[in-house]
Structure 1
Amino acid sequence: MTSNVCVAGVGMIPFVKPGANAPYPVMGAEATRLALADAGVGYDMIQQAYAGYVYGDSTCGQRALYQVGMTGIDFAKAAGYPDVFAHGMLVMGYLGQALTDAVSPPQLRAFSTRFVAITQLGARLTCEGHVSEFVDHDGERCAKLALTTKDENGDLKLSGEAVIAL
């Protein structure tokens, strides 16, 4: 399959070592604005955008695009989604909060999750867990918990496990 690609503008800003200038998302947003101005187009004409990073946090390129307006319902629909959706880390945070509401944080020995499906904004989420087995963890008697987060339709959004001291 072949595709036509058009790089219509260039935006350059001085790059300096971490901490010596504005945060990377701010620098990236400025470079993006300059590239759009150079091309003479608005972000509403962009069909796809790609952002990478070397030094910054793992989503700093994505954050840079948000700062120039590449977010919201129009952008989500252009990417093929029915609406904007919640970041997976938010759903993970809900599950982690539910876990530490049920179990004292000092008892927590391990917590891991796997993202299963996109969560639409406004979804009513239910976080659940049950003991899947009893285990020895670093010489300590523990319980391994199977964890899930589902939406109001029962669709699985996140699965995970935790190990807690007994």
Structure 2
Amino acid sequence: MKNYPYERSFYYRSKQEERDSMERSIWLIKEIRQFESTDELIFDYLKVISKKEEHISLLQRMIESERIHYNILKDINYQLIGKVPDVDAPTFEVPDSFEEGLSEILLRKSNTIHLYVQLLNNLSPAFTSSIFPIIVEEQTHMQLLNYMHSDTCCSKQHIHNHSKDI
């Protein structure tokens, strides 16, 4: 049962478990900040290749949200250890298409949410009010990405079906 995230309540951890939890939290924050900065780059690239104004607007809102998440994580990191470690400069592979980019970012978001849940389980309950809304926003991002993906794919299918009629 050692790997089960709800194994022990935060309030009943030993000093060693608290230290391990703190180290894990700091590592998770760094990983998530790296994900968030890379996601921002991907969103920005998708904005450039998007053909729909609605998608561009949604992607811009997600970029702004990612920046807020990144800053909240920096603040938490500072509260925990009194400094904010740097993260590596973000890089990503340019997707072949808008749809491929959406698919890639959907998978990334799933991983990010998993990391946020782990962070929530490792941090003091005092940080729940900061982390939980981020998890909800990340899930909302996934819904918006799914919407854009289906909107794009359905539009292509609709055009393909109409071209057969001509």
TM-score bracket for this pair, using the shorter chain length: under 0.3
Larger RCO (CA under 8 A, 6+ residues apart): 2
Q: Under a length normalisation based on structure 2, what TM-score does the superposition of the two structures give? A: 0.26
